[in-house]
Amino acid sequence: MSTHYDAIILGAGPAGFTAGIYLARSKRRVLIIDQSTAGGQPIFTHKIANYPGLPEVHGYELAFALKKQAQDFGCDLETNVEITSMELTGPVKRVELDGEDVYEAPSLIVATGGMPRSLGIGSEEDFKARGISYCATCDGDFYTDKDIVVVGGGNTALEEAVSLTRYARSVTILHVLNEFQAFPQAVEEARANPKIRFIMEAEVTAFEGDERLGRVRYLDHASGEEVVLETDGVFIFIGYVPNTAPFASTLDLSPRGEILADEDMATNVAGVYVAGDVRQKRYRQLTTAVADGTIAALATIEYLDRQAANRTSNQSQSQAPIDSQDHAPTLT
């Protein structure tokens, strides 16, 4: 037995909650599903200082406020569940949870987000939001006049290292290879900045500290020695992983695995929309996520209205009286 909704939203982060708020306010029945804890990326951010209207807010506080607002407007929420199957291509979208409960809706919004690629070091988890960050725009000003480390060697790593010099006293770039993968212009700009120094062929092996991160341990491949570097914080920029694996056979993806969509957030499948960090775009911020959620919700509302209008039109045509003159019997 299945439960029917007007819209199903996959992902309980800023984009998903925003879409849910707009849909629920338009009197649509909405279910928001997340396979982990509700809140998305904000719950990994200690403080947020660049969200309009909120000069400084803890990430968990913003996540809780979004959740409460969506539920107050009537959104149903299922979190910490396993999506065991999905059917997106038909007129009715179906999502099965934990191999038992089935939910159906004529529309679906994918807002599953993504995660900054981690180094995979056990101690990395211990210091997330306590000295380890993945967003210079979000957390840079918390390190004003501090000595920080940037891990990575691509365009993002070097560009963000330069931006962090607006706040930090010094920035040390640790890169595991002996050359950068960034464009020459990004490399030149970073090398020209007097606040930035470079340690190449450095493989991070551990993060250490007490309540907060205080040290980075890395292997110097050139010398074979292990080195301990004192630091006030670390920013890791080694890539981004969108949560799109379940959609690879259904939705069109970019070479980097991001969902492709038009300006209305519509995917290649009718009735399926996308919002937030999971879609292909250049900038990933809280404000861009909620903007995506707004657009996806409004486009979904229009889609549902068109479907309802088509059904009404088809019913009217099927119930129209037969014109007796057009269908009069032939007299012989």
3-state secondary structure of 218: strand
Residue 302: CB atoms within 10 A of its CB come to: 11
Pairing of strands 240-242, 114-116: antiparallel
Look up 138 and say whether it is catalytic. Answer: yes
Could you give phi then psi for residue 243, rounded to 5 degrees?
-85, 75
Q: How far is CA 72 from the centre of its chain?
A: 23
One of 135, 232, 277, 292 is an active-site residue; which one?
A: 135
Q: Which candidate, 320, 120, 95, 321, places its Cα nearest to that of 236?
A: 120
Q: Which residues pair with 108 in a beta bridge?
A: 8, 272
Q: Which candidate, 232, 302, 271, places its Cα nearest to that of 8?
A: 271
One of 6, 34, 75, 139 is an active-site residue; which one?
A: 139
Q: Which candidate, 77, 78, 71, places its Cα nearest to that of 21?
A: 71
Q: What is the DSSP string of 58-88?
A: EHHHHHHHHHHHHHHTT-EEEES--EEEEE-
187, two tokens: 């490399």
Look up 139 and say whether it is catalytic. Answer: yes
Is 180 in contact with 153 (CB distance < 8 Å)? yes
256, two tokens: 């980097």
Q: Which candidate, 242, 245, 244, 213, places its Cα nearest to that of 230?
A: 213
Single-letter residue type at 10 = L
What is the spatial distance between Cα 139 and Cα 305, in angstroms, rounded to a whole number? 41
Q: Which candidate, 63, 205, 67, 58, places its Cα nearest to that of 124?
A: 205
* DSSP letter (8 states) at residue 270: T
Look up 210 and say whether it is catalytic. Answer: no
One of 6, 138, 232, 292 is an active-site residue; which one?
A: 138
Is 39 in contact with 64 (CB distance < 8 Å)? yes
Q: Which residues are known catalytic residues?
A: 135, 138-139
